[in-house]
Amino acid sequence: MLTLFTAPKPFVGHIGVIQENALRSWKALGSDVDIVVLGDEPGLAQAAADLGVIHLDSVDRAESGAPRLRSVLAAARGASHQPCLCYLNADIILLADFLPAVRRVAERLTRFLLLGQRWDLDVTEPLSFDPGWERSLRENLGRAGRLHRPVGSDYFVFPADIFVELPDFILGRSGWDNWMIFEARRRRIPVVDATAAVTIVHQNHDYAHLPGGQKHHRHPESQVNLDLAGGRETIFRIEDADWRLTPRTLQRKGPFDWRYPRKWEADLIARLGPGKSARLVRMVFRPRQALRSLRGAAGASIDESAGEVVGEP
């Protein structure tokens, strides 16, 4: 049914704990999923062997050492025999509602991009995965979890025969995830927001693995991604999805499901594609932010997850 793939960080310290939690939750989905981990980070080969998942150690990397999405996706596609692929971050716990949601969408749509908001939760210890582990985690999520803003995305599910050609984005940096939503909208591929039907858990962590411990949106390679994407006009968010999956329905979003005037702005940009016309659209809808970007004003760094300018809605 589905191949899950990711490019983890080193399996050391707290990051190692939460990545093993994530991979074990994916294994708990059963035999309908394959799992591919990519890279040669310390501890990864041993973790893959212990968990019985596919490990591919050869991926192209940027100057910083971060893997390139195009290489990671090509390797995962080559190792997959499943009709659908799912890239997800290696700190994401999946629960039992994930695979049924993918099946529902795949049975209805031949082309799609499935994504959704995450829940943030502090997890500091290995999970037991004994019977009842998911119920316990959901109870903890109800007490201490927080639904993340509808900005960046931590997972993407799509049929294996789309997104074959990609810009040479750098993983672990901002911008590329937003471009995926934009590109699907531009190609009239249904973008399905599964937040109401799928609970994914992001295990909170620090950013000690990045220079200076700063979040990824401040890394220079985030600007590289933004340039490859075609500029700030391509920064689409989960709210720009045009379909919605709930526990009962899968349907196009209705007129009252959108935030205006963002809907009109996104529709126009998706139709026009990146370039001068899209920049003019952004100028009309967001003159203050567009002018600030053109002037290179202080504070115009790329926002966490969204890849958007700090302070923009």
Q: What is the pLDDT of residue 296?
A: 60
Report residue 6 as tokens. 């990711």
pLDDT in tens, 146-158: 999 998 799 999 9
Cβ-contact 153, 238 below 8 angstroms: yes
Q: What is the pLDDT of residue 60?
A: 96
Tell me the domain boundaries of the chain.
2-229
- Using CA atoms, how far residue 8 sits from 2, 19, 87, 258, in Å, is 19, 7, 11, 35
Q: What is the pLDDT of residue 132?
A: 95
Sequence-ordered list of residues with C-beta below 8 angstroms from that of 107, at least 6 positions apart, any chain = none
| Rg for the chain, CA atoms, rounded | 19
Q: What is the pLDDT of residue 274?
A: 93
Q: Which residues pair with 201 in a beta bridge?
A: 93, 119
Classified by CATH at the fold level, domain 2-229 comes out as Spore Coat Polysaccharide Biosynthesis Protein SpsA; Chain A (3.90.550)
| Dihedral sign of CA atoms 302, 93, 208, 10 in order | negative
Separation of alpha carbons 280 and 35, rounded Å: 43
Q: What is the pLDDT of residue 308?
A: 38
pTM of the complete model? 0.91
Task: Split the chain (313 residues) into runs of 10 and give each run's mean pLDDT.
Answer: 96 96 97 96 97 95 94 96 97 98 98 98 96 96 96 94 95 94 98 98 77 60 94 95 98 96 97 94 88 59 39 28
Q: Which helix (H) or strand (E) holds 77?
A: helix 69-79
Q: What is the pLDDT of residue 212?
A: 53
